[in-house]
Amino acid sequence: MNMTVIGSASSLSAEERALRDLYLEHGPALHSYVLRMLDGDTHRAEDVVQEALLRCWNKRNLIDDDGMAVRPWIFRVARNLVIDGHRTRMARPLEIGGDSWLTELGTEADDIERMLSSMVVRDALEALTPAHREVLLATFFADRTTQQAAETLGIPQGTVKSRVFYALRSLKVALAERGLR
């Protein structure tokens, strides 16, 4: 029983053998050449090599017995395909892959949200009494302990603590009135 394996030399037609021989003869050198032009992008290099080989195979009259007339032509075709691909990419807007555009958009939205929140907080602070605003600025915003704030403000530490307590309650109400919780 004679069984042929798909892809074996005996199962290929004359045209398929010609294409395989063309690849075996020129494929590795062509792939290296294209890979250098594409800065190591193997996927694009494989696509260019495949397209160049198919174009050469479609022009069967270029293939002669020694294959020497084919090589310069196929390398020129591959070079032109790389140049055309580059020109096409330059003519289109820059592609943004994956979710990076979401990240950029999110970062921009976060910056805007932060700016708007700080404006609301500043407005809410203005709504507090001067004593409450002063004690919050001396503690939370200046990153001081109640003892340090008391020394800076020249008031007892217990007064700072009670003012901070009531100032935070008032600030919470003022922020709620402005839509922040």
pLDDT of amino acid 177: 87
The most distant pair of C-alpha atoms in the chain lies apart, rounded to whole Å, by 107
- In angstroms, the first-to-last Cα distance of the chain is 83
The total of structural domains in the chain comes to: 2
Domain with 152 in it: 117-177
Tell me: do 62 and 131 sit in the same domain.
no
Tell me: do 80 and 128 sit in the same domain.
no
Tell me: do 138 and 74 sit in the same domain.
no
Q: Is residue 84 part of a domain?
A: yes
pLDDT of amino acid 71: 83
Q: Which segments of the chain have a pLDDT < 50?
A: 1-6, 67
Half-sphere exposure of 136 (CA within 13 A, CB side): 20
pLDDT of amino acid 3: 39
Q: What is the CATH number of the domain that holds 43?
A: 1.10.1740
Q: Is residue 67 part of a domain?
A: yes
CA–chain centroid gap for 140, Å, is 38
**174 with 128: CB under 8 angstroms?**
yes
Name the amino acid, one letter, at 94: L
Q: Which two tokens stand for residue 127?
A: 């709504």
Q: Helix or strand or coil: residue 130?
A: helix
Q: What is the CATH number of the domain that holds 143?
A: 1.10.10.10
pLDDT of amino acid 2: 41
pLDDT per position as a tens digit, 90-106: 777 665 555 555 565 56
Q: What is the dihedral of CA 7, 13, 17, 19, to 10 degrees?
A: -100
Q: Is residue 100 part of a domain?
A: no
**4 with 12: CB under 8 angstroms?**
no
Angle (CA) 4 60 86, round 5°:
105
Cα–Cα distance for residue pair 13/25, rounded to 1 Å: 18
Question: Among the three residues 41, 74, 91, which one is the final residue of a domain in this structure?
Answer: 91
Q: Which two tokens stand for residue 4?
A: 């042929």
